[in-house]
């Protein structure tokens, strides 16, 4: 008989992430302050230049960032993010986003995410996170209370 394992906060958050999972993004691995996500570029993700639309690369990086910053437990959201596109991705490419925590201070954090195609760097993303004071955001989606700001 196998023992059931409890899901981590990152796994719980990712399981409810319809946007990321709907695009085929997979949470490959995760740990305290880290996460790795994978996505294959589909024909629907290609722009008019026949390369992957930057919004999909941002989404992949943001997903890895979200899983890394939610690894600590409290509901955590993006306070801001920037991305630098280094090289184009194309239809059929398998992209891997590796997120690493750089700093946590108070309810805030800084995370760097590198997006790779094999050993070629595709994009660099920096995310800034903010943790809720409680789990109000998880319990009542779409609402904000003074306590959760």
> CB neighbours of 141 closer than 8 A, spacing ≥ 6?
none
Provide mean pLDDT across the span 101-126. Answer: 98
Q: Which of 109, 93, 89, 90 is nearest to 101 (CA)?
A: 109
Strand partners, 104: 109
pTM value is: 0.85
Residue owning tokens 């306590």: 147
pLDDT above 60 for 149: no
> What's the pLDDT band for 3 if we cut at 50, 70, 90?
low
- pLDDT tens digits, 49-70: 999 999 999 999 999 999 999 9
> CB neighbours of 149 closer than 8 A, spacing ≥ 6?
133
Provide mean pLDDT across the span 132-138. Answer: 63
> What's the pLDDT band for 6 if we cut at 50, 70, 90?
confident
pLDDT above 50 for 75: yes
Instruction: Name the burial class of residue 22, with classes exposed (0-12), middle (13-18) and buried (19+) by CB atoms within 10 angstroms of its CB.
Output: exposed
Q: Which of 128, 77, 79, 119 is nearest to 98 (CA)?
A: 119
Please give the residue that has the higher pLDDT: either 133 or 128. Answer: 128
> What's the pLDDT band for 148 if we cut at 50, 70, 90?
very low
Q: Which of 51, 50, 29, 49 is nearest to 38 (CA)?
A: 29
Under 8 Å between Cβ of 58 and 66: no
Domains in the chain: ranges and CATH = 9-135 (3.10.129.10)
């Amino acid at each position: 008989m196998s023992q059931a394992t409890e899901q981590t906060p990152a796994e719980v958050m990712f399981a409810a992430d319809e946007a990321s999972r709907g695009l085929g993004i997979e949470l490959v691995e995760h740990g305290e302050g880290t996460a790795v996500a994978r996505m294959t570029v589909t024909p629907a993700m290609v722009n008019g230049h026949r390369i992957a639309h930057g919004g999909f690369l941002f989404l992949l990086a943001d997903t890895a960032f979200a899983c890394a910053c939610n690894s600590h437990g409290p509901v955590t959201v993006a306070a801001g993010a920037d991305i630098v596109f280094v090289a184009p991705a194309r239809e059929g490419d398998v992209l891997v986003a590796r997120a690493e925590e750089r700093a946590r201070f108070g309810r805030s954090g800084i995370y760097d995410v590198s997006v790779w195609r094999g050993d070629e760097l595709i994009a660099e993303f920096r995310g800034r996170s903010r943790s809720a004071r409680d789990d109000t955001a998880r319990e009542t989606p779409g609402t904000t209370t003074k306590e959760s700001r």
